[in-house]
Amino acid sequence: MKIIIGSDHGGLLLKDKIFQHLKDKGYDVDDVGTYSAMSCDYPVIAKELTTKVLDSSCLGILVCGTGIGMSIYANKVKGIRAAHCTDTFSARLSRQHNDSNVLCLGERITGFGLALDIVDEWLNATFEGGRHKRRVDMINELDEVKG
Ligand code: RB5
């Protein structure tokens, strides 16, 4: 499975941990940066990642200091359903019920161990469809209204 991963400077260390974790598990990981601790703008990375997630119909993981800026940006992109998670239960349910296609994490909020568990829980869960599809379709219709 292909996973796109990205962060700003505030999420660099956690992003690199997740990158290695996913590589070790055999995932095909595409890292869109940032690649240094130099300050950068999270919307630039979020734009690059969400474009690739939509083009490849795959999943993406965004990390910044809190996870909030990345999630605000990502959820403005039509077709992206970003889940900002600080626990494994929310991460699992965001896939099962909300069909989230982007996971947002905060390096300054969530410790590395828990963050990797959140990533695993999110990737191992699948969308349940049924009544949840009806609700996700309603969100997609909202995307259409916004253009
Ligand atoms: C960068 O200082 C910080 O604002 C950013 O990483 C993120 O937390 C924004 O939401």
Neighbours of 139 (CB within 10 A): 12
Q: What are phi and psi of 61, to 5 degrees?
A: -125, 125
64: annotated active-site residue: yes
Strand order in the sheet with 59-64: 28-31, 2-7, 59-64, 102-106, 82-84
Q: Are 14 and 37 in contact (CB under 8 A)?
A: no
Q: For residue 136, is pLDDT > 80?
A: yes
Read off the pLDDT of each residue in 53-65 and give the average, rounded to a whole number.
98
Nearest CA to ligand 1 atom 2: 10
Take residue 13 and report the two structure tokens written for it.
């260390």
Read off the pLDDT of each residue in 102-130 and give the average, rounded to a whole number.
98
Q: For residue 147, is pLDDT > 60?
A: no
Q: Are 53 and 80 in contact (CB under 8 A)?
A: yes
pLDDT of residue 142: 84
pLDDT confidence band for 16 (50 / 70 / 90): very high
Is residue 66 in contact with ligand 1, taking CB distance under 6 Å? Answer: yes
Domain boundaries, the chain: 2-141
Which pTM was predicted? 0.96
- Does the domain at residues 2-141 carry the CATH identifier 3.40.1400.10? yes
pLDDT digits (tens, 9 = 90+) for 61-108: 999 999 999 999 999 999 999 999 999 999 999 999 999 999 999 999
Whether a cis peptide bond, with omega within 30° of 0, leads into 34 is yes
